[in-house]
Chains A and B, each alone.
Chain A
Amino acid sequence: MSKEKLWEAMEHVAPELIEEADRPVTAKKRRGRVLVIAAAACFLLAVGVVAADALFGFRFLSDDLLYSGGHDYSFEADLTRFPDEQFSEEVQNIMEASDPDQDSFVFDTWDEVLDFIGEDIPLAPESSVLADATNTGFRVSVSKSTTNISTIYTLDGYDIIFSVYIGGEELDYFHVGSVFADENFNTQRIETSIGSGAGALIHHATDEDSNGPCTSSFLRDGIYYSIFIAGASDTALMEEILADF
Protein backbone atom coordinates (compact mmCIF):
# COMPACT_ATOMS: atom_id res chain seq x y z
CA MET A 1 0.00 0.00 0.00
CA SER A 2 2.84 2.38 0.87
CA LYS A 3 4.25 2.74 -2.62
CA GLU A 4 0.80 3.33 -4.06
CA LYS A 5 0.44 6.23 -1.65
CA LEU A 6 3.25 8.06 -3.41
CA TRP A 7 1.44 7.62 -6.71
CA GLU A 8 -1.79 8.84 -5.13
CA ALA A 9 0.07 11.81 -3.69
CA MET A 10 0.85 13.04 -7.20
CA GLU A 11 -2.77 14.13 -7.39
CA HIS A 12 -2.04 16.68 -4.67
CA VAL A 13 0.92 18.41 -6.28
CA ALA A 14 0.39 22.18 -6.43
CA PRO A 15 -1.73 23.24 -9.42
CA GLU A 16 0.66 25.97 -10.51
CA LEU A 17 3.40 23.38 -10.99
CA ILE A 18 1.03 21.22 -13.04
CA GLU A 19 0.22 24.20 -15.26
CA GLU A 20 3.87 25.21 -15.53
CA ALA A 21 4.74 21.73 -16.80
CA ASP A 22 2.28 22.14 -19.65
CA ARG A 23 3.73 25.41 -20.92
CA PRO A 24 5.73 25.25 -24.13
CA VAL A 25 9.42 24.73 -23.54
CA THR A 26 11.91 27.04 -25.22
CA ALA A 27 14.65 24.87 -26.63
CA LYS A 28 17.99 25.85 -25.09
CA LYS A 29 20.98 25.95 -27.31
CA ARG A 30 23.99 24.22 -25.85
CA ARG A 31 26.19 27.00 -24.48
CA GLY A 32 29.85 27.31 -25.20
CA ARG A 33 29.96 25.01 -28.21
CA VAL A 34 32.43 27.45 -29.80
CA LEU A 35 34.81 26.76 -26.91
CA VAL A 36 35.33 23.20 -28.09
CA ILE A 37 36.52 24.46 -31.44
CA ALA A 38 38.42 27.55 -30.32
CA ALA A 39 40.34 26.16 -27.33
CA ALA A 40 43.94 26.05 -28.55
CA ALA A 41 45.07 23.34 -26.17
CA CYS A 42 42.20 21.01 -26.96
CA PHE A 43 42.48 17.89 -29.13
CA LEU A 44 40.78 14.54 -29.22
CA LEU A 45 42.50 11.19 -28.67
CA ALA A 46 40.92 8.24 -30.38
CA VAL A 47 40.14 5.22 -28.26
CA GLY A 48 43.14 2.96 -28.13
CA VAL A 49 46.30 2.17 -26.28
CA VAL A 50 47.64 5.11 -24.29
CA ALA A 51 51.11 5.23 -22.79
CA ALA A 52 50.91 5.02 -18.99
CA ASP A 53 52.72 8.31 -18.48
CA ALA A 54 52.13 11.25 -16.20
CA LEU A 55 49.88 13.86 -17.76
CA PHE A 56 48.95 17.09 -15.97
CA GLY A 57 50.11 15.40 -12.75
CA PHE A 58 48.02 12.27 -13.29
CA ARG A 59 49.40 8.74 -13.67
CA PHE A 60 47.28 6.23 -15.47
CA LEU A 61 46.98 2.85 -13.82
CA SER A 62 45.86 1.12 -16.97
CA ASP A 63 46.72 1.98 -20.52
CA ASP A 64 43.59 1.26 -22.42
CA LEU A 65 40.38 3.25 -22.62
CA LEU A 66 38.56 0.23 -23.89
CA TYR A 67 36.33 -1.79 -21.66
CA SER A 68 38.17 -4.82 -20.38
CA GLY A 69 36.02 -7.20 -18.41
CA GLY A 70 34.58 -4.73 -15.95
CA HIS A 71 37.78 -2.82 -15.31
CA ASP A 72 37.39 0.93 -15.16
CA TYR A 73 40.17 3.11 -16.43
CA SER A 74 41.90 4.54 -13.35
CA PHE A 75 44.42 7.23 -12.57
CA GLU A 76 46.12 8.71 -9.54
CA ALA A 77 48.01 11.79 -8.48
CA ASP A 78 50.13 13.02 -5.61
CA LEU A 79 48.24 15.65 -3.74
CA THR A 80 49.97 18.29 -1.65
CA ARG A 81 50.07 17.24 1.99
CA PHE A 82 48.93 20.41 3.72
CA PRO A 83 50.13 20.60 7.32
CA ASP A 84 47.46 20.86 10.01
CA GLU A 85 48.35 24.45 10.84
CA GLN A 86 47.54 25.58 7.33
CA PHE A 87 43.87 24.76 7.91
CA SER A 88 41.55 26.99 9.92
CA GLU A 89 41.59 26.67 13.69
CA GLU A 90 38.14 25.06 13.55
CA VAL A 91 39.32 22.36 11.14
CA GLN A 92 42.46 21.77 13.19
CA ASN A 93 40.35 21.20 16.28
CA ILE A 94 38.24 18.70 14.37
CA MET A 95 41.29 16.86 13.08
CA GLU A 96 42.72 16.71 16.59
CA ALA A 97 39.48 15.46 18.11
CA SER A 98 39.03 12.81 15.40
CA ASP A 99 35.41 12.45 16.44
CA PRO A 100 33.64 10.59 13.63
CA ASP A 101 30.33 12.17 14.66
CA GLN A 102 31.65 15.63 14.01
CA ASP A 103 33.69 15.23 10.89
CA SER A 104 30.96 16.00 8.31
CA PHE A 105 29.42 19.42 7.79
CA VAL A 106 27.09 21.06 5.28
CA PHE A 107 27.33 24.65 4.09
CA ASP A 108 25.03 26.66 1.87
CA THR A 109 27.64 28.57 -0.09
CA TRP A 110 31.15 28.10 -1.41
CA ASP A 111 32.25 31.20 0.52
CA GLU A 112 31.22 29.50 3.74
CA VAL A 113 33.29 26.47 2.75
CA LEU A 114 36.32 28.66 2.07
CA ASP A 115 35.87 30.33 5.41
CA PHE A 116 35.60 26.98 7.17
CA ILE A 117 38.63 25.38 5.49
CA GLY A 118 40.85 28.40 6.06
CA GLU A 119 42.36 31.07 3.85
CA ASP A 120 45.78 29.40 3.76
CA ILE A 121 44.44 26.44 1.80
CA PRO A 122 44.46 27.57 -1.86
CA LEU A 123 40.98 26.48 -2.85
CA ALA A 124 39.81 27.79 -6.21
CA PRO A 125 37.03 30.37 -6.23
CA GLU A 126 33.66 28.96 -7.24
CA SER A 127 33.09 28.78 -10.98
CA SER A 128 30.73 31.59 -11.91
CA VAL A 129 28.97 29.14 -14.27
CA LEU A 130 28.20 26.86 -11.33
CA ALA A 131 27.50 29.71 -8.93
CA ASP A 132 24.33 30.44 -10.90
CA ALA A 133 23.11 26.84 -10.48
CA THR A 134 21.12 25.40 -7.60
CA ASN A 135 23.01 22.96 -5.43
CA THR A 136 22.35 20.48 -2.65
CA GLY A 137 24.62 22.23 -0.16
CA PHE A 138 28.36 21.69 0.19
CA ARG A 139 29.20 18.65 2.30
CA VAL A 140 32.64 18.79 3.90
CA SER A 141 34.26 15.75 5.49
CA VAL A 142 37.41 16.33 7.51
CA SER A 143 40.15 13.93 8.47
CA LYS A 144 43.90 14.13 8.93
CA SER A 145 44.53 12.30 5.65
CA THR A 146 42.06 14.06 3.34
CA THR A 147 39.37 16.71 3.50
CA ASN A 148 36.65 16.20 0.92
CA ILE A 149 34.12 18.75 -0.33
CA SER A 150 31.22 17.71 -2.53
CA THR A 151 27.92 18.97 -3.83
CA ILE A 152 25.49 18.35 -6.67
CA TYR A 153 24.68 21.32 -8.86
CA THR A 154 21.68 21.32 -11.17
CA LEU A 155 22.25 23.31 -14.34
CA ASP A 156 20.52 23.20 -17.70
CA GLY A 157 18.74 20.04 -16.65
CA TYR A 158 21.99 18.28 -15.80
CA ASP A 159 23.03 17.13 -12.36
CA ILE A 160 26.71 17.98 -11.90
CA ILE A 161 28.63 16.27 -9.11
CA PHE A 162 31.47 18.51 -7.97
CA SER A 163 34.13 17.07 -5.67
CA VAL A 164 37.33 18.45 -4.18
CA TYR A 165 40.02 16.50 -2.33
CA ILE A 166 42.59 18.25 -0.12
CA GLY A 167 45.53 16.22 1.14
CA GLY A 168 46.31 16.37 4.84
CA GLU A 169 49.40 15.56 6.85
CA GLU A 170 48.66 11.86 7.07
CA LEU A 171 47.93 11.31 3.40
CA ASP A 172 50.09 8.43 2.22
CA TYR A 173 48.39 7.30 -0.99
CA PHE A 174 45.63 8.71 -3.06
CA HIS A 175 43.87 7.07 -5.94
CA VAL A 176 42.04 10.03 -7.41
CA GLY A 177 39.71 8.69 -9.98
CA SER A 178 38.42 6.18 -12.40
CA VAL A 179 36.76 6.64 -15.72
CA PHE A 180 33.63 4.81 -16.68
CA ALA A 181 34.37 2.13 -19.22
CA ASP A 182 31.78 -0.30 -20.52
CA GLU A 183 31.40 -2.45 -23.62
CA ASN A 184 28.33 -0.42 -24.62
CA PHE A 185 30.15 2.91 -24.49
CA ASN A 186 32.91 4.55 -26.47
CA THR A 187 35.20 6.46 -24.11
CA GLN A 188 37.20 9.38 -25.38
CA ARG A 189 39.74 11.56 -23.61
CA ILE A 190 40.26 15.25 -24.26
CA GLU A 191 43.28 17.13 -22.96
CA THR A 192 42.35 20.69 -22.22
CA SER A 193 43.05 23.35 -19.63
CA ILE A 194 41.22 25.28 -16.97
CA GLY A 195 40.93 29.04 -17.06
CA SER A 196 44.06 29.57 -14.94
CA GLY A 197 46.11 27.53 -17.42
CA ALA A 198 46.59 24.22 -15.57
CA GLY A 199 45.96 21.10 -17.62
CA ALA A 200 42.73 19.16 -17.26
CA LEU A 201 41.44 15.85 -18.55
CA ILE A 202 37.93 15.27 -19.81
CA HIS A 203 36.68 11.73 -20.30
CA HIS A 204 33.41 11.33 -22.13
CA ALA A 205 31.76 7.95 -22.55
CA THR A 206 29.05 7.88 -25.20
CA ASP A 207 26.50 5.23 -26.04
CA GLU A 208 24.59 4.74 -29.30
CA ASP A 209 22.48 7.80 -28.46
CA SER A 210 25.74 9.78 -28.12
CA ASN A 211 25.12 10.41 -24.45
CA GLY A 212 26.96 9.25 -21.40
CA PRO A 213 28.98 10.22 -18.36
CA CYS A 214 31.41 13.09 -18.79
CA THR A 215 34.10 13.49 -16.13
CA SER A 216 36.79 16.12 -15.79
CA SER A 217 39.76 16.03 -13.47
CA PHE A 218 42.38 18.64 -12.72
CA LEU A 219 44.93 19.54 -10.13
CA ARG A 220 45.21 23.12 -8.99
CA ASP A 221 47.79 24.12 -6.41
CA GLY A 222 48.08 20.52 -5.24
CA ILE A 223 44.33 20.07 -4.71
CA TYR A 224 42.29 17.63 -6.83
CA TYR A 225 39.01 18.71 -8.44
CA SER A 226 36.52 16.45 -10.17
CA ILE A 227 33.37 17.33 -12.08
CA PHE A 228 30.93 14.66 -13.25
CA ILE A 229 28.00 15.24 -15.59
CA ALA A 230 25.73 12.26 -16.29
CA GLY A 231 24.11 11.76 -19.66
CA ALA A 232 26.07 14.50 -21.44
CA SER A 233 25.58 14.69 -25.19
CA ASP A 234 28.86 16.55 -25.66
CA THR A 235 31.63 18.19 -23.65
CA ALA A 236 30.59 21.81 -24.25
CA LEU A 237 29.12 22.44 -20.80
CA MET A 238 32.12 20.81 -19.14
CA GLU A 239 34.49 22.98 -21.20
CA GLU A 240 32.56 26.06 -20.18
CA ILE A 241 32.77 25.18 -16.49
CA LEU A 242 36.50 24.40 -16.69
CA ALA A 243 37.26 27.65 -18.47
CA ASP A 244 35.95 29.44 -15.42
CA PHE A 245 38.40 27.92 -12.92
Chain B
Amino acid sequence: MNSEELIGLLEGRSEQALSELDRTYGAYCRTIARNILRSDEDAEECVSDAYLSVWNAIPPAKPTSFKAWLGTIVRNSALRRRRSTAVAEALCAELSESLPDAASVSANCEAKVLGEAITAFLRRQSPQVRSAFLRRYWYCDTIEAVALRLGWSVSKTKSTLFRTRKKLKDYLIKEELWHE
Protein backbone atom coordinates (compact mmCIF):
# COMPACT_ATOMS: atom_id res chain seq x y z
CA MET B 1 0.00 0.00 0.00
CA ASN B 2 1.43 3.40 -0.87
CA SER B 3 1.45 6.33 1.53
CA GLU B 4 -1.43 8.19 -0.16
CA GLU B 5 -3.68 5.19 0.23
CA LEU B 6 -2.61 4.80 3.84
CA ILE B 7 -3.31 8.47 4.58
CA GLY B 8 -6.69 7.96 2.97
CA LEU B 9 -7.46 5.08 5.36
CA LEU B 10 -6.38 7.18 8.33
CA GLU B 11 -8.48 10.13 7.24
CA GLY B 12 -11.44 7.80 6.81
CA ARG B 13 -10.78 6.44 10.35
CA SER B 14 -10.70 2.95 8.90
CA GLU B 15 -10.03 0.07 11.28
CA GLN B 16 -7.64 -1.28 8.71
CA ALA B 17 -5.40 1.79 8.85
CA LEU B 18 -3.14 0.81 11.75
CA SER B 19 -2.68 -2.78 10.61
CA GLU B 20 -1.76 -1.56 7.14
CA LEU B 21 0.57 0.98 8.72
CA ASP B 22 2.30 -1.77 10.64
CA ARG B 23 2.44 -4.06 7.63
CA THR B 24 4.02 -1.42 5.40
CA TYR B 25 6.24 0.45 7.83
CA GLY B 26 6.49 -1.76 10.90
CA ALA B 27 10.01 -3.07 10.23
CA TYR B 28 11.23 0.43 9.42
CA CYS B 29 9.77 1.83 12.67
CA ARG B 30 11.11 -0.99 14.81
CA THR B 31 14.61 -0.59 13.37
CA ILE B 32 14.70 3.09 14.30
CA ALA B 33 13.31 2.44 17.77
CA ARG B 34 15.60 -0.53 18.42
CA ASN B 35 18.70 1.42 17.30
CA ILE B 36 18.00 3.99 19.98
CA LEU B 37 16.50 1.89 22.77
CA ARG B 38 18.57 -1.30 22.25
CA SER B 39 15.62 -3.34 23.53
CA ASP B 40 12.97 -5.18 21.51
CA GLU B 41 10.41 -4.75 24.25
CA ASP B 42 10.93 -1.01 24.58
CA ALA B 43 11.05 -0.65 20.82
CA GLU B 44 7.69 -2.39 20.48
CA GLU B 45 6.18 -0.09 23.07
CA CYS B 46 7.66 2.95 21.39
CA VAL B 47 6.32 1.95 17.99
CA SER B 48 2.84 1.42 19.44
CA ASP B 49 2.97 4.91 20.93
CA ALA B 50 4.06 6.28 17.59
CA TYR B 51 1.13 4.63 15.82
CA LEU B 52 -1.22 6.26 18.30
CA SER B 53 0.41 9.62 17.56
CA VAL B 54 -0.11 9.02 13.84
CA TRP B 55 -3.76 8.10 14.40
CA ASN B 56 -4.27 11.31 16.37
CA ALA B 57 -2.36 13.50 13.92
CA ILE B 58 -4.08 12.42 10.67
CA PRO B 59 -6.34 14.17 9.98
CA PRO B 60 -5.70 17.08 9.78
CA ALA B 61 -1.99 16.49 9.11
CA LYS B 62 -1.20 15.46 5.55
CA PRO B 63 2.57 14.86 5.42
CA THR B 64 4.10 14.97 1.96
CA SER B 65 6.96 12.64 2.90
CA PHE B 66 5.00 10.16 4.97
CA LYS B 67 7.85 7.73 5.63
CA ALA B 68 10.22 10.40 6.90
CA TRP B 69 7.44 11.99 8.95
CA LEU B 70 6.58 8.63 10.52
CA GLY B 71 10.26 7.93 11.16
CA THR B 72 10.60 11.28 12.90
CA ILE B 73 7.69 10.47 15.20
CA VAL B 74 9.23 7.13 16.11
CA ARG B 75 12.68 8.65 16.56
CA ASN B 76 11.42 11.42 18.81
CA SER B 77 9.32 8.99 20.79
CA ALA B 78 12.36 6.77 21.34
CA LEU B 79 14.65 9.65 22.24
CA ARG B 80 12.19 10.84 24.88
CA ARG B 81 12.45 7.59 26.76
CA ARG B 82 14.93 7.32 29.62
CA ARG B 83 16.51 4.20 28.22
CA SER B 84 17.65 6.10 25.16
CA THR B 85 19.82 8.48 27.16
CA ALA B 86 23.12 6.61 26.83
CA VAL B 87 22.75 6.08 23.09
CA ALA B 88 21.59 9.63 22.45
CA GLU B 89 24.34 11.15 24.58
CA ALA B 90 27.01 9.09 22.87
CA LEU B 91 25.82 10.02 19.39
CA CYS B 92 25.39 13.66 20.37
CA ALA B 93 28.96 13.73 21.66
CA GLU B 94 30.27 12.01 18.54
CA LEU B 95 28.40 14.36 16.21
CA SER B 96 29.68 17.44 17.99
CA GLU B 97 33.19 16.31 18.79
CA SER B 98 34.87 18.52 16.23
CA LEU B 99 32.88 21.57 17.26
CA PRO B 100 34.24 24.09 19.75
CA ASP B 101 32.63 24.38 23.14
CA ALA B 102 29.88 26.48 24.62
CA ALA B 103 28.42 29.77 23.55
CA SER B 104 29.40 28.98 20.00
CA VAL B 105 26.04 28.96 18.26
CA SER B 106 24.87 32.15 16.71
CA ALA B 107 22.33 33.76 18.99
CA ASN B 108 19.42 33.41 16.56
CA CYS B 109 20.27 29.96 15.33
CA GLU B 110 17.34 27.72 16.09
CA ALA B 111 17.51 23.98 15.58
CA LYS B 112 15.34 24.33 12.47
CA VAL B 113 17.78 26.75 10.85
CA LEU B 114 20.68 24.49 11.75
CA GLY B 115 18.74 21.56 10.34
CA GLU B 116 18.31 23.40 7.05
CA ALA B 117 22.03 24.13 6.99
CA ILE B 118 22.84 20.49 7.64
CA THR B 119 20.50 19.61 4.77
CA ALA B 120 22.29 22.02 2.43
CA PHE B 121 25.64 20.60 3.52
CA LEU B 122 24.52 17.02 3.00
CA ARG B 123 23.20 17.78 -0.48
CA ARG B 124 26.78 18.69 -1.46
CA GLN B 125 28.08 15.29 -0.41
CA SER B 126 28.02 12.09 -2.42
CA PRO B 127 24.99 9.86 -1.92
CA GLN B 128 27.05 7.30 -0.04
CA VAL B 129 28.58 9.80 2.35
CA ARG B 130 25.14 11.34 2.88
CA SER B 131 23.69 7.94 3.60
CA ALA B 132 26.49 7.08 6.05
CA PHE B 133 25.97 10.33 7.94
CA LEU B 134 22.21 10.00 8.17
CA ARG B 135 22.24 6.30 9.00
CA ARG B 136 24.56 7.10 11.90
CA TYR B 137 23.11 10.34 13.24
CA TRP B 138 19.45 10.15 12.28
CA TYR B 139 18.75 6.44 12.15
CA CYS B 140 21.26 5.85 14.99
CA ASP B 141 22.71 2.75 13.31
CA THR B 142 25.85 1.34 14.86
CA ILE B 143 29.08 1.86 12.94
CA GLU B 144 29.05 -1.82 12.02
CA ALA B 145 25.51 -1.55 10.66
CA VAL B 146 26.43 1.49 8.57
CA ALA B 147 29.49 -0.32 7.21
CA LEU B 148 27.48 -3.41 6.36
CA ARG B 149 24.77 -1.41 4.63
CA LEU B 150 27.23 0.47 2.44
CA GLY B 151 29.62 -2.41 1.83
CA TRP B 152 32.45 -0.57 3.57
CA SER B 153 34.94 -1.65 6.18
CA VAL B 154 34.46 -0.41 9.74
CA SER B 155 37.61 1.71 9.56
CA LYS B 156 36.54 3.31 6.29
CA THR B 157 33.16 4.09 7.85
CA LYS B 158 34.78 5.66 10.89
CA SER B 159 37.17 7.76 8.80
CA THR B 160 34.42 8.86 6.41
CA LEU B 161 32.20 9.94 9.30
CA PHE B 162 35.12 11.72 10.94
CA ARG B 163 35.92 13.68 7.77
CA THR B 164 32.27 14.49 7.18
CA ARG B 165 31.84 15.84 10.70
CA LYS B 166 34.89 18.02 10.19
CA LYS B 167 33.59 19.28 6.86
CA LEU B 168 30.24 20.02 8.50
CA LYS B 169 31.99 22.03 11.16
CA ASP B 170 33.86 24.06 8.52
CA TYR B 171 30.62 24.59 6.63
CA LEU B 172 28.73 25.80 9.71
CA ILE B 173 31.53 28.19 10.56
CA LYS B 174 31.63 29.49 6.99
CA GLU B 175 27.85 30.02 7.09
CA GLU B 176 28.33 31.87 10.37
CA LEU B 177 26.09 29.46 12.19
CA TRP B 178 28.92 28.42 14.46
CA HIS B 179 31.78 30.50 15.75
CA GLU B 180 35.24 29.33 16.77
Interface of A toward B, CB cutoff 8 Å:
1-22, 25, 27-28, 134, 136, 154-159, 207, 209-212, 230-231, 233
Structural contact, A5 and B111, CB atoms closer than 8 A: yes
Q: Mark B145-161, 1 if CB is under 8 A from A, else 0.
A: 00001111111100110
Structural contact, B137 and A210, CB atoms closer than 8 A: no
Tell which of B68, B101, B159, B163 touches A19, judged by Cβ atoms closer than 8 Å.
B68
Cβ contacts under 8 Å, A7 to chain B: 88, 91-92, 95-96, 137
Structural contact, B95 and A25, CB atoms closer than 8 A: no
Closest 10 CB pairs of A and B: A12-B115, A15-B68, A15-B65, A9-B114, A3-B96, A21-B134, A231-B156, A157-B128, A7-B92, A18-B68
Whether a CB of chain A sits under 8 angstroms from the CB of B126 is: yes
Cβ contacts under 8 Å, B95 to chain A: 3, 6-7, 10
Closest to B96 in A: A3
What is the bound-complex CA distance between A18 and B72, given in angstroms? Answer: 9
Total A-B Cβ pairs within 8 A: 147
What is the bound-complex CA distance between A154 and B167, given in angstroms? Answer: 12
- Given the interface contacts A5-B109, A210-B153, A230-B163, does A12 sit within 8 Å of B116 by beta carbon? yes
Q: Would you list 24 pairs from A and B whose C-beta atoms are within 8 A, ordered by A residue?
A: A4-B92, A6-B92, A7-B91, A9-B115, A12-B111, A12-B119, A13-B119, A18-B71, A19-B65, A20-B127, A20-B130, A21-B131, A22-B71, A25-B150, A156-B128, A157-B156, A157-B160, A158-B160, A207-B155, A209-B155, A210-B153, A211-B153, A230-B159, A231-B155
Q: Mark B93-106, 1 if CB is under 8 A from A, else 0.
A: 10110010111110
Whether a CB of chain A sits under 8 angstroms from the CB of B112 is: yes
Structural contact, A159 and B160, CB atoms closer than 8 A: yes
What is the bound-complex CA distance between A11 and B130, given in angstroms? Answer: 15
- A17–chain B nearest beta-carbon distance, Å: 6
What is the bound-complex CA distance between A212 and B134, given in angstroms? Answer: 24
The B66-103 residues at the A interface (CB cut-off 8 A) are 67-69, 71-72, 75-76, 88, 91-93, 95-96, 99, 101-103
Structural contact, B115 and A15, CB atoms closer than 8 A: no
- Given the interface contacts A13-B122, A15-B64, does A157 sit within 8 Å of B138 by beta carbon? no
- A48–chain B nearest beta-carbon distance, Å: 25
- Given the interface contacts A22-B139, A231-B153, does A17 sit within 8 Å of B134 by beta carbon? yes
- A152–chain B nearest beta-carbon distance, Å: 8
Whether a CB of chain A sits under 8 angstroms from the CB of B53 is: no
What is the bound-complex CA distance between A8 and B96, given in angstroms? Answer: 11
Structural contact, A159 and B163, CB atoms closer than 8 A: yes
Cβ contacts under 8 Å, B130 to chain A: 17, 20-21
